Structure 1
Amino acid sequence: MPFASFRTSDDLRDSTGLRVLGSIPMIPNKGRKDALAYLREKPTSVVAESIRNLRTSIMLSNIDAPPKVIMVTSSLPGEGKTTQSLGLAQNMASLGKRVILIEGDIRRRIFAEYFDTKHTLTLLDAMNDPAQLIAADLKQSDLGVDLLVAAKANVNAADVFTSEKFSALISFLRDHYDFVIIDTPPVLAVPDARVIGQHVDAILYTVKWDVTTKTQVRQGLEMFSTVGLKVTGLILNAIDSRQMKRYGYGGQYGYDSHGSGYYDS
């Protein structure tokens, strides 16, 4: 009997017909700040290496015009897309690139659960006057990236992202940063991701290992398709290597077996 969720990248690829750009192991943590600390303190871990591989796959997804503005989404909350956004932004910054990470979920605004830093300049402020970003101190020392946090809007969130101001902000950021990473809301929850997707070069779709169902992924991909958007690639996230072995897959993802001795835990 077929599994309702995804346990292998091959299954995810075959079920959707899309490339799986990355397979990310579960981060051993108890909370969001623990995840951030792990990314910062374990640069040679299996997780860090998998994020480096993800970055490489993204850059090779369009060799002639590598994506510069990248959004990360998922079907539903709790699939790890925000942690992936942080890890990807940090990894790109480690190459000496100028990176800005945008909190595109202005409904939930969970960046505060990752960072203690209080930024006075918000996404809405930057939309009203992008030039403010030139003098603003947005640097997040934990990641080495600039951070543009969300603020509660007095209008519908989807309307914020359909505005000419948001389009102008993205154009401004393209001129001033090497990479723009946008953490968006889940596509099945609200329409925001489909709106933001109109402004980006690459759409990354996070699928939580052994949790997200095939029906949810199919519905989410269809949501993008109905507005003329194609997902660039999928990320199988939060893979539990111990549980994988119990299921009989062994070291299918490589890092546990073939990479033994090369990476920290």
Structure 2
Amino acid sequence: MTRAWPPGAVVTGEPVHPVVRARLAKVPQVTALFWIIKVLTTGMGETASDFLAHTVAPPVAVGLGGLGLAGALILQLRVRRYRAGVYWFAVVMVSVFGTMAADVLHVGLGVPYLLSTIGFAVVLAAVLALWYAAERTLSIHSITTPRRECFYWATVLVTFALGTAAGDLTAVTFGWGYLLSGGIFAVLIALPALAFRTGTLNAVVAFWTAYVITRPLGASFADWMGVSHERGGLGLGTGPVTAVWAALIVGLVAYLAITGADREPAGP
């Protein structure tokens, strides 16, 4: 017999009825626009972090990034269901602060990109292990409780820091440059999608693998556009690149907010 779930119910240890899951969902459906906006946020976060670091004192920039992240996450956690503007604002602030976290380790503390990449990968594995141990699932379609949402955002934050370190590792330490690195990550991001389509990788693993790769993918191309010709870029400047990518994000998120194209259907 189908259980009648009351509106606003918080479901924890049992499968969630589709209608209730749609009402409680705090993340968007994974569509093509989801991946496009995700890549844009990674690039915008990379150049915004660099712009702030060269415009104001680095400690002030990190402080502003931390305050922005805290405010965005508090707002996201307080809303009762998915809101496109609130959700993607949180992602943008995670991107900015995640970049700063990776850069502080390398620039401020002198940690090599290889070591920070390995370190963030270990932290990501630990967060995912704790999440799975507590909830027995890592599916983003299960983000219907506050605890699962906290695990989700902790995972997102670490993926941004990991992706930043990995992108700088290939572009700088390996000497591949930003354009080549972006091209390589563009190829790599197709692999989990192909593996999922062929049934050799489950949806959860494919999603989080692609999610990590979007970070160095977007950041590499944004850096290539923003850095000087001497560093192998187009020399457009981090400020203008940040502004253009931010405008694209705002436009696409506004479209989603108006149309609801990325909201989970509530069912019949």
Structure 2-normalised TM-score? 0.29
Greater radius of gyration (CA): 2
Structure 1-normalised TM-score? 0.29
More strand as a share of residues = 1
